Structure 1
Amino acid sequence: MMLVKIMFYILAAVALGSALFVAASKNLVRSVFMFFVTLFALAGLYVLALADFVAITQIVIYVGGILVLILFTFMLSGRETLDAIQQQKSKLINLNKLPAIVLAVLFFVVMFIVLRQADVNELDWVKVAVAEGNVIKPDGIQIENIGVNLMTSYLLPFEVISILLMIALIGAAHLSRKEQEA
């Protein structure tokens, strides 16, 4: 149990540190690669929470799909656009960012208070579920059911999402190419 706690704190620190680097960095390419590290750390946290399917989905969809789209966007963007973005003046705290900072601080205060006061094992509905034996045990059957449902009942929405991502990639490529002067 102690090793799991150590792994949790390491992965949480990596996720938070890399996410802060993504938010604070002026170099867009480094931000994208640190976003890659953030997503992998989140996948590791899902594995520790015994959510293997969610971890694999995190890696396949976000790391394999969304992050590749972001990298393609940077590769297809003109050098002038990237230079203009990187040379924008940005201070960590200024008056324009004050509402966002206040909301973020309020969110973290509320989240801290709720997590501090919550005792998950003492909730009535958890006690009733444990007493009745209505608890899902982690095994391969749920993952198998998800796979079967994804490839049968939900195949059409799955394919529609893949076509939507492909259209987004084509749209990004079209918007980023330079217009030819006549």
Structure 2
Amino acid sequence: MMIESFLFYAFAGVAILSALLLVHIRNTARALFLLFVVLFAMAGLYLFALADFIAITQILIYVGGVLILLIFAFMLSNKELLADLQSTSGRFISLPNWQALVLVIAFLSLMVYSYLSWSQQMPQWIAQSEAKGKMILPTDNNIKVLGFKFMTQYVLPFEIISVFLMMTLIGAAHLSRKESNK
């Protein structure tokens, strides 16, 4: 087995195992740590998909920004909030869980169907891009092109992401503030 295959399956296994543990764990501190592991493993998988910019963005925005703010909010929050977050049903499948199970099965069947149909015949849009020579190669300088696109064509979505990060910071500050005794 080549090292690339081993690393891919290691990242995928860590992401899947950590995500499964994340949804079933009751300790909020451990759940935040597992979210940290899931986000890093997903960044590794993005690297294998030749989406280096998305992998770096995943680490900078979600791990470096949102997750750290969640950890600070957890550390500074009061006990009542923690009790509300950790009160869960003892049953394996309750009303919200069966809805999530239906969504997971739907997405899994969509992915299996896509894989089976794409392994037999390449989709039309991929075949056209390959014929025109517009395929993204690993040697292309994608980050420079993305930088130009972000500051020209996609400046509005880029600013929306910055507003999202600001809202996360305000939410973390709101969760961490102390209630006044009246």
| Same fold, judged at TM 0.5 (above) | yes
- Judged with a 3 Å threshold, the aligned counterparts in structure 2 of structure 1 residues 127 and 104 are, in CA distance, closer, same or farther, namely closer
CA distance in 2, matches of 1:71, 1:150: 29
Q: Greater shift after overlay, 84-93 or 21-30?
A: 84-93
Deviation of residue 120 (structure 1)? 7.5
Query: What is residue 24 of structure 1 aligned with on the other side?
Result: 24
Q: For the pair shown, which has the larger CA radius of gyration, 1 or 2?
A: 1
Query: What is residue 82 of structure 1 aligned with on the other side?
Result: 82
* Residue identity in the other structure for 1:173: A
CA distance in 1, matches of 2:112, 2:70: 32
Q: Greater shift after overlay, 162-171 or 23-32?
A: 162-171
CA distance in 1, matches of 2:4, 2:28: 34
Deviation of residue 83 (structure 1)? 3.0
Deviation of residue 54 (structure 1)? 1.2
1:62-81 per-residue CA deviation (whole Å, 9 max, x = no partner) reads: 11111112112212210232
Q: How does 1:34-45 map to 2 (within 5 A)?
A: 34-45=34-45
| Structure 2 gap segments, 5+ residues each | none
Higher relative contact order (CA 8 A, sep 6+): 2
Is the 2:66–2:168 contact (alpha carbons within 8 Å) kept by the matching residues of 1?
A: no
Residues paired across the two proteins, number: 182
Q: How does 1:1-182 map to 2 (within 5 A)?
A: 2-94=2-94, 97-119=97-119, 122-139=122-139, 141-151=141-151, 158=158, 161-182=161-182
Deviation of residue 111 (structure 1)? 2.3
| Structure 1 gap segments, 5+ residues each | none
Q: Greater shift after overlay, 149-158 or 99-108?
A: 149-158
Q: Greater shift after overlay, 8-17 or 129-138?
A: 129-138
